[in-house]
């Protein structure tokens, strides 16, 4: 009875507040930017009803109109550029950024990204849009350790090494959060905490088991660095369990380590739907099932420190407050952290007080940002092989054949968690622009994995004797009223990414469209009709509905197989409506034809050189995907070989005896054994962003000297790896691997040569915790300017269970041909840390250590100096 009265009084209070004037709102203490933040938070919390408090702990927070507080969605992404919110500069994928080994330029890159983030936020605030992907809280970087090349999301990380991941991760955080003394530019988020590196298919039920040693020396260092050194504002707890408890309710991870040991007092949030995994029972998707219901799961998560839920399980806390199973006092620490974050972003302050509110929309994809995307793409490219100096190719080449599934694919270059650039230069386009006088023969040749190619039959669709579809648009979601545009579309390839309309006078959102055309089949047999788009779509053939998706979704594709008769006509009709996010609609009509290896080789043999552009695709590897091709499972891989169809194509091209250059695009390591032996040159170009085509062409023709370094080990096969679900680090990565890899961590060739000499340490005897400087002279002994990446590893013979060697410093240095430079690298005192298995703590042990420096982690590329710790 008391509870009902309490809620009734609060409801009455809410009604009274609804009558408040704008002037009264401005006078509320929480809106006074001159008051201490804690005082402002106290005032605001006192004004909220219990239900409103709970609602503010979920990513989609509703508006509180009586207080003048707009709705806010915490979910936003900026993995390698502002994502999923229209036009943005698309930089290389994170794993490619790691390959630059260029911390200062990574910091600059994310400073530009946060400029675009603020510009977008300022724009959306002006037009009153507050839905998903329009806020200032970015759930990046992903600093999980890429411990196994089979993990599909490894491309989102900064590689396999804790030090490289820590260093690059801190640069990302500092670039995103800015350096203003009063306001944060945006929030960065360290994810996924912790021990989360695949597999994707069982992440909602997987219980990661690791030794204390591996936990503290491999899986936690980057999180500790971002929390204790970079002041990261958010930490996302992972889907998986750790030691039998879901990470988002792990008292060891969240309370003992994060809150107490590291004194973290900022926001912890759940991965999306992670709280549901505590209690949802599912036959199709195994879950943790550690809790009986939503309330017990939500209460456990909150009391463990998970302040914000991405999802809707926390709604159960409203009933929990009513029946006394949780109290407002128990919610208060989370609410204080959440509102502190929003106050520090300036969300409740006059915009003239917030310096970042002045960043204009014009910075988005500006020439400076595009130039930086090109610079990072340049620096990320790793030259793996260059036999007989095949590269660079001559710019006077007469004929060049460009073959492969990634040559003309622009969206592949965007990777995942991407924005939408206004233009992407494909690798084919980059080559064509670099040698405009050459005859460039382009042949797709083969798919990534299939033994058939999809022949485009779109030219066989007409409407009233005109090529393409009729299109009719309405500025509503119901196909009603007077159309705002009617016309002909030769093909259906539309997106409002980049604020581009589908057609003149058509809204960017809340619109519907109808398309109709007649397909006259040029073939007998199966024809695939595929339509993909977010929100609502329906596909009809001869007025019969054959595929449908009529609900909101980020992206969904539907396919239908038509058993066509040559010469017969079929009426195709598509209905589409847009509701959330950027509108996307693509239609493809294709016929499968067998890959013609001999025919492709015959065409390519006419060229003076062949460039094969293959590898993987973000449509094959990534986050929890429905991929069923051989060698792939749920976004992960079951082997690391290049798919058979591509290897067979390469063998046919090799038989032409023409110079064969392989450009591999992927987000992970490939076991390129045949390619290493048989290709005349081999390049890893990753997923290089919107300027990747220019960058690759610049490397191929010598306008840029490649200087990227591998942030991951390339294995010869999965036989060099333990079971994917085994998180033990024994034998994994360069730090523990005793077998010879295909290519070592830190490896990358150049068109010039470098030598190291005159290396000295500033001290030869250290006290525990003391730092030391390494000075070394780098000489460019070749004929071309280039960048060298000097890497410093520590070998610790005092810890026989520890890493064989571990990266502890690095620096990218530009050196002109014939020039030499003296370089100083600081080695921090904690570089000599060891793990004490008995005490389960890190310590620095007395004894002799080796300081190894050179151009990769391979022993043959390293030189040694010795020092002693007393």
Together in a domain, 651 and 583: no
Together in a domain, 607 and 587: no
Give percent of the chain above pLDDT 90.
91
Beta strands in 616-768 (DSSP E): 632-633, 636-637, 660-665, 681-684, 754-761, 765-766
Does residue 29 form part of some domain?
no
Q: Which sign, positive or negative, has the C-alpha torsion 535, 541, 543, 547? A: negative
Together in a domain, 625 and 694: yes
The model's confidence at residue 284, banded by pLDDT at 50, 70 and 90, is: confident
Does residue 627 form part of some domain?
yes
The model's confidence at residue 26, banded by pLDDT at 50, 70 and 90, is: low
Does residue 61 form part of some domain?
no
Taking the mean position of all CA atoms in its chain, how far away is CA 853?
A: 31
Q: What is the pLDDT of residue 498?
A: 63
The model's confidence at residue 225, banded by pLDDT at 50, 70 and 90, is: very high
Together in a domain, 405 and 464: no
Looking at 592, 612, 645, which one is the last position of a domain?
Answer: 592
Task: Return d(Cα 776, Cα 747) in angstroms, integer.
Answer: 19
Under a CB-based contact definition with an 8 Å cutoff, are residues 243 and 250 in contact?
Answer: yes
Instruction: Out of 52, 103, 271, 365, pick the active-site residue.
Output: 271
621 is catalytic: yes
- Residue 472, strand partner residues: 486, 514
Q: What is the CATH number of the domain that holds 465?
A: 2.60.120.260
Least confident interval from 253-257, 280-284, 295-299, 614-618: 280-284
- In the chain, the number of structural domains is 3
Does residue 383 form part of some domain?
yes
Q: pTM (2 decimals)?
A: 0.93
Instruction: Out of 300, 365, 385, 621, pick the active-site residue.
Output: 621
Looking at 565, 592, 619, which one is the last position of a domain?
Answer: 592
Does residue 300 form part of some domain?
no
Under a CB-based contact definition with an 8 Å cutoff, are residues 400 and 431 in contact?
Answer: yes
Phi first, then psi: give them for residue 527, nearest 5 degrees.
Answer: -125, 130
Q: What is the CATH number of the domain that holds 822?
A: 2.60.40.10
384: left (phi over 0), alpha (psi -120 to 50) or beta: alpha
Does residue 267 form part of some domain?
no
Q: What is the CATH number of the domain that holds 724?
A: 3.40.50.1700
The model's confidence at residue 552, banded by pLDDT at 50, 70 and 90, is: low
Together in a domain, 399 and 445: yes
Together in a domain, 614 and 671: yes
Does residue 102 form part of some domain?
no
Task: Return d(Cα 234, Cα 140) in angstroms, integer.
Answer: 9
The mean per-residue pLDDT over the stretch 569-577 comes to 97
Together in a domain, 466 and 579: yes
Condensed to tens digits (0 to 9), the pLDDT of residues 515-541 reads 999 999 999 999 999 998 878 899 999
Domain that holds residue 694: 375-453+595-736
Edge-to-edge strand order for the sheet containing 862-869? Answer: 765-766, 862-869, 847-854, 786-795, 806-815
Phi first, then psi: give them for residue 171, nearest 5 degrees.
Answer: -60, -40
Looking at 569, 592, 615, which one is the last position of a domain?
Answer: 592
Together in a domain, 499 and 581: yes
Condensed to tens digits (0 to 9), the pLDDT of residues 671-713 reads 999 999 999 999 999 999 999 999 999 999 999 999 999 999 9
Predicted confidence (pLDDT) at residue 555 exceeds the cutoff of 90: no
Together in a domain, 426 and 487: no
State the burial class of residue 567 (Cβ atoms within 10 Å of its Cβ: 0-12, 13-18, 19+): exposed
Under a CB-based contact definition with an 8 Å cutoff, are residues 419 and 83 in contact?
Answer: yes
The mean per-residue pLDDT over the stretch 106-126 comes to 98
Together in a domain, 607 and 646: yes
Together in a domain, 613 and 685: yes
Together in a domain, 384 and 469: no
Condensed to tens digits (0 to 9), the pLDDT of residues 783-840 reads 999 999 999 999 999 999 999 999 999 999 999 999 999 999 999 999 999 999 999 9
The conformation of residue 719, written as its DSSP 8-state character, comes to G
């Amino acid at each position: 009875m008391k509870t009902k009265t309490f809620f009734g009084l609060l409801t009455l209070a809410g009604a009274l507040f609804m009558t408040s004037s704008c002037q009264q709102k401005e006078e509320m203490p929480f809106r006074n930017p001159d008051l201490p933040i804690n005082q402002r938070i106290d005032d605001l919390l006192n004004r909220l009803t219990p239900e409103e408090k709970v609602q503010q702990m979920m990513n989609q927070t509703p508006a509180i109109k009586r207080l003048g507080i707009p709705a806010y969605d915490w979910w936003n992404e900026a993995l390698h550029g502002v994502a999923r919110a229209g036009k943005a500069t698309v930089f290389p994928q994170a794993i490619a950024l790691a390959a630059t080994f260029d911390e200062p330029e990574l910091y600059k890159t994310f400073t530009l990204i946060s400029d675009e983030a603020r510009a977008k936020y300022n724009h959306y605030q002006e037009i009153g849009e507050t839905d998903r992907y329009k806020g200032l809280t970015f759930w990046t970087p992903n600093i999980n350790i890429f411990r196994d090349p089979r993990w599909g999301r490894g491309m989102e990380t900064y590689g396999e090494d804790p030090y490289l991941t820590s260093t690059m991760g801190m640069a990302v955080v500092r670039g995103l959060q800015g350096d203003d003394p009063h306001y944060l530019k945006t929030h960065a988020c360290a994810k996924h905490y912790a021990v989360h590196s695949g597999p994707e298919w069982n992440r909602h039920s997987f219980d990661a088991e690791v030794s204390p040693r591996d936990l503290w020396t491999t899986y936690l260092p980057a999180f500790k660095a971002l929390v204790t050194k970079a002041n990261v504002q958010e930490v996302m707890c992972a889907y998986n369990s750790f030691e039998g408890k879901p990470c988002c309710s792990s008292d060891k991870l969240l309370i003992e380590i994060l809150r107490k040991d590291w004194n973290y007092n900022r926001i912890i949030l759940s991965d999306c739907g992670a709280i549901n995994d505590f209690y949802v029972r599912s036959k199709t998707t195994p879950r943790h099932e550690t809790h009986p219901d939503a309330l017990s799961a939500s209460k456990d998560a909150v009391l463990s420190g998970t302040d914000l839920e991405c999802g809707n399980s926390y709604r159960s806390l409203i009933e929990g407050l009513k029946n006394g199973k949780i109290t407002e006092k128990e919610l208060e620490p989370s609410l204080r952290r959440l509102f502190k974050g929003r106050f520090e972003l300036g969300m409740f302050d006059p915009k003239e007080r917030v310096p970042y509110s002045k960043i204009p929309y014009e910075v988005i994809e500006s020439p400076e940002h595009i130039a930086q995307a090109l610079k990072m793409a340049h620096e990320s490219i790793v030259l793996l092989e260059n036999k007989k100096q095949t590269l660079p190719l001559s710019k006077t080449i007469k004929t060049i054949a460009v073959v492969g599934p990634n040559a003309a694919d622009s969206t592949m270059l965007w990777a995942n968690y991407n924005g939408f650039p206004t233009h992407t230069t494909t690798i084919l386009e980059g080559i064509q622009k670099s040698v405009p006088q050459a005859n460039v023969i382009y042949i797709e040749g083969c798919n990534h994995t299939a033994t058939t190619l999809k022949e485009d039959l779109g030219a066989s669709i007409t409407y009233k004797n005109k090529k393409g579809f009729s299109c009719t648009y309405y500025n509503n979601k119901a196909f009603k009223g007077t159309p705002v545009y009617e016309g002909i579309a030769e093909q259906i390839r539309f997106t409002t990414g980049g604020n581009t309309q589908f057609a003149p006078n058509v809204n960017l959102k809340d619109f519907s469209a109808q398309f109709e055309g007649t397909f006259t089949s040029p073939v007998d047999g199966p024809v695939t009709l595929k339509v993909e788009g977010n929100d609502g779509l329906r596909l009809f053939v001869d007025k019969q509905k054959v595929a449908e998706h009529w609900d909101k979704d980020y992206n969904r594709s539907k396919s239908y197989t038509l058993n066509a008769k040559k010469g017969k006509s079929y009426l195709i009709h598509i209905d589409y409506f847009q509701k959330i996010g950027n509108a996307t609609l693509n239609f493809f009509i294709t016929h499968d034809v067998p890959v013609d290896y001999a025919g492709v080789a015959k065409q390519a043999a006419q060229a003076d050189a062949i460039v094969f552009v293959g590898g993987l695709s973000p449509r094959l590897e990534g986050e929890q995907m429905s991929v069923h091709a051989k060698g792939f499972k749920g976004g992960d891989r079951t082997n690391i070989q290049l798919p058979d169809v591509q290897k067979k194509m390469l063998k046919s091209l090799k038989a032409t005896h023409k110079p064969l250059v392989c450009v591999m695009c992927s987000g992970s390591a490939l076991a390129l054994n045949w390619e290493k032996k048989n290709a005349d040159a081999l390049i890893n170009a990753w997923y290089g962003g919107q300027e990747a085509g220019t960058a690759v062409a610049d490397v191929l023709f010598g306008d840029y000297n490649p200087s990227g370094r591998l942030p991951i080990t390339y294995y010869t096969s999965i036989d060099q790896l333990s079971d994917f679900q085994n998180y033990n680090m024994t034998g994994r990565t360069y730090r523990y691997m005793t077998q010879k890899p295909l290519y070592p961590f830190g490896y990358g060739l150049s068109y010039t040569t470098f030598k190291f000499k005159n290396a000295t340490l500033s001290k030869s005897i250290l006290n525990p915790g003391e730092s030391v400087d390494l000075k070394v002279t780098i000489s460019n002994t070749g004929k071309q300017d280039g960048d060298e990446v000097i890497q410093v590893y520590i070998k610790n013979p005092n810890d026989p269970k520890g890493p064989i060697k571990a990266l502890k410093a690095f620096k990218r240095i530009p050196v002109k041909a014939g020039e030499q430079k003296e370089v100083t690298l600081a080695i921090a005192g904690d570089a000599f840390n060891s793990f004490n298995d008995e005490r389960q703590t890190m310590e620095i042990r007395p004894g002799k250590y080796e300081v190894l420096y050179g151009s990769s982690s391979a022993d043959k590329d390293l030189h040694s100096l010795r020092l002693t710790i007393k």
